[in-house]
Structure 1
């Protein structure tokens, strides 16, 4: 089943939101920046939905997810609920003919993610996953340098995504409950971003990996949990480039330390998400720090730059750029680099490979 943008014309894409937490706030702001009215919100209970609708400025709340996806005045549904609910809610929205933005992980298993990719294709709608770090302009600058051959032959990669919000034994969150968060936590939550960024910038997939994981504490009130605090990977890319990736939610002082470094035969590139205005370009005879500037940027980077040089852009700007591209796709355009449900499936495949490698202590082949 396919729906067009309903009644109001192609210039107005009306948003429904599932969830009322931090990510719902980010999604709501991005939808508004794209010119989309926030029509309705549903949450875990009608009371929570009503409170979140007031806080986020939705026109109304709905009793539950079923009522929201069935509403005739909603064109696109954003799924910002606990991980284990993503697949069912996204499928319900697709079945109703809605366009869908679903938070990662798209599903807690690759099989469920694959079914969602197929359902989106059958419905003929736009289905996207917010791997929004692609939308930092200096990430696009790095990608363009790789594509132009300026890096040379890719030799190695190094990356990390480090946080500290689960450092203490007393720190807890629903993500630490495998029933709500899924079998992988640190990797599925933030390692998926790191791997997506790596494959996006390098322009080639990880084909083999070996991983170790560590769960430092049993959380959830002392009950044992099955998902990891830390994951360390050695990876091989299709070209033969090798790399090391570290993912941790227990690195003191690291709040959102996403860093990617690529080493080629001609130059190296380093992007750090906490310094998103910069791209370090390393050379044997000298290095330079490129600063974001739409006047000198590659066109793929310049199109995302909504502020003049010297006026910092950050995470919400990247998210706004992502949602703007989703809306462009709804209108029939084909934005470069839009992360779709296929990319969400890719992340689920990698997460299962990481868990399998850690359990079996062996290399895992990963299909591209």
Structure 2
């Protein structure tokens, strides 16, 4: 059965400000008339000096703040958005699902397949909805591509090439901590393209071969992989590659981007969801002013509207588990130097 929703505004809590998307989620939730927002970031005391987190972060974004997760539990939220360090995702899913809260969890769902499975089991046992944060799924360009594939306009899909390249997330030190993040660029950037592949193809991966290196940012003492390439063979024969590097220079005017090229027997389509912008130069140098759909906003809309309607939001926890399985297989392939069969 599904956990009931009380009439009136939904009580939604943002748990942790560790992830860089927390500010965006807070902004979109705070702007909704149908949401009452509370935030908490009790682990902020362990973050390095200079990172804006905790009560100061909440105040900077005009959000109500609780000092502990227990205070949030006492508040009885209808739903939570988990933005903690990756290694803490599964535990928070289990804790708040058991309290009856629906969950939107940042990617990856966990840092191990076993923990991701426990998160799914906890949500199912509590009768709450679990959604994984894959905002690129909501890109109008991807939705149009998906429609073309579903309509057979590209024929039988033969191959897919995905790229997800960006800045190294240096504003949050935990992103390069192998214990807290579960890895580097493979963990951070493979999952978005893997989710689009999961949704588009609807079949499991059969064979994964990955390589990675630490050449980029080596002078900064980074110990996790900063560049990688993953090749995936899917059931039915589709071959996909994902370039998942932190290769965007710090001097670039934007964080990076994602591209996705699908080739079939009748044609090929390439999308670039983050390309729309006004470019030029200002007093600080090169300028990049994006416009178009706000994918975080569309994802939050899906989460809230699904809860209100009593349906499962997409991408669900199963999507998070399957994409994590690809990441873990890629890591195993890097470690062995051999393909991994799923």
TM-score (structure 2 length as normaliser)? 0.84
Residue 359 (structure 1) aligns with = 335
Mapping of residues 264-279 of structure 1, within 5 Å? 264-275=264-275
Residue 14 (structure 1) aligns with = 11
Residue 346 (structure 1) aligns with = 322
Q: CA deviation at 1:53?
A: 2.5
SS in 2 for 1:139: helix
Residue 29 (structure 1) aligns with = 27
Higher strand share: 2
Q: Could you give the per-residue CA deviations for residues 128-156 of structure 1, whole angstroms, max 9, x where no partner exists?
A: 11101010112111001101111101111
CA distance in 2, matches of 1:232, 1:48: 33
Q: CA deviation at 1:221?
A: 7.6
Task: Check whether the contact 1:34–1:324 (CA below 8 A) recurs between aligned residues.
Answer: no
Residue 193 (structure 1) aligns with = 192
Residue 83 (structure 1) aligns with = 86
2:140 corresponds to which of 137, 141, 144: 137
Mapping of residues 83-162 of structure 1, within 5 Å? 83-162=86-165
CA distance in 1, matches of 2:81, 2:111: 18
Moved over 4 A (4+): 45-48, 217-222
Q: Could you give the per-residue CA deviations for residues 14-43 of structure 1, whole angstroms, max 9, x where no partner exists?
A: 211112353111111232355343432111
SS in 2 for 1:14: strand
Q: Could you give the per-residue CA deviations for residues 164-210 of structure 1, whole angstroms, max 9, x where no partner exists?
A: 336xxx9982211112211x221211111111122323444432111
SS in 1 for 2:269: strand
CA distance in 2, matches of 1:143, 1:37: 31
CA distance in 2, matches of 1:25, 1:121: 29
Task: Check whether the contact 1:66–1:92 (CA below 8 A) recurs between aligned residues.
Answer: no
Q: Would the alpha carbon gap of residues 41 and 270 (structure 1) be closer, same or farther in structure 2, given more than 3 Å must change? A: same
Task: Check whether the contact 2:9–2:36 (CA below 8 A) recurs between aligned residues.
Answer: no
Task: Check whether the contact 1:99–1:126 (CA below 8 A) recurs between aligned residues.
Answer: yes
Residue 308 (structure 2) aligns with = 331
SS in 1 for 2:230: strand
Q: CA RMSD in A?
A: 2.7
CA distance in 2, matches of 1:340, 1:126: 8
CA distance in 2, matches of 1:147, 1:93: 36
Q: CA deviation at 1:112?
A: 0.1
SS in 1 for 2:141: helix
Residue 320 (str. 1) matches residue 324 (str. 2): no
Q: Would the alpha carbon gap of residues 164 and 17 (structure 1) be closer, same or farther in structure 2, given more than 3 Å must change? A: closer
Residue 62 (structure 1) aligns with = 66
2:244 corresponds to which of 235, 238, 247: 247
CA distance in 1, matches of 2:60, 2:276: 29
Residue 181 (structure 2) aligns with = 181
Residue 291 (structure 1) aligns with = none
Q: Would the alpha carbon gap of residues 165 and 191 (structure 1) be closer, same or farther in structure 2, given more than 3 Å must change? A: same
Say which is worse superposed, 156-165 or 136-145, in terms of deviation: 156-165
CA distance in 2, matches of 1:40, 1:174: 24
CA distance in 1, matches of 2:219, 2:301: 38
Residue 235 (structure 2) aligns with = 238
CA distance in 1, matches of 2:231, 2:255: 23
Q: CA deviation at 1:217?
A: 6.5
Gaps of 5+ in 1: 278-310
Q: How many residues align?
A: 319
SS in 2 for 1:122: helix
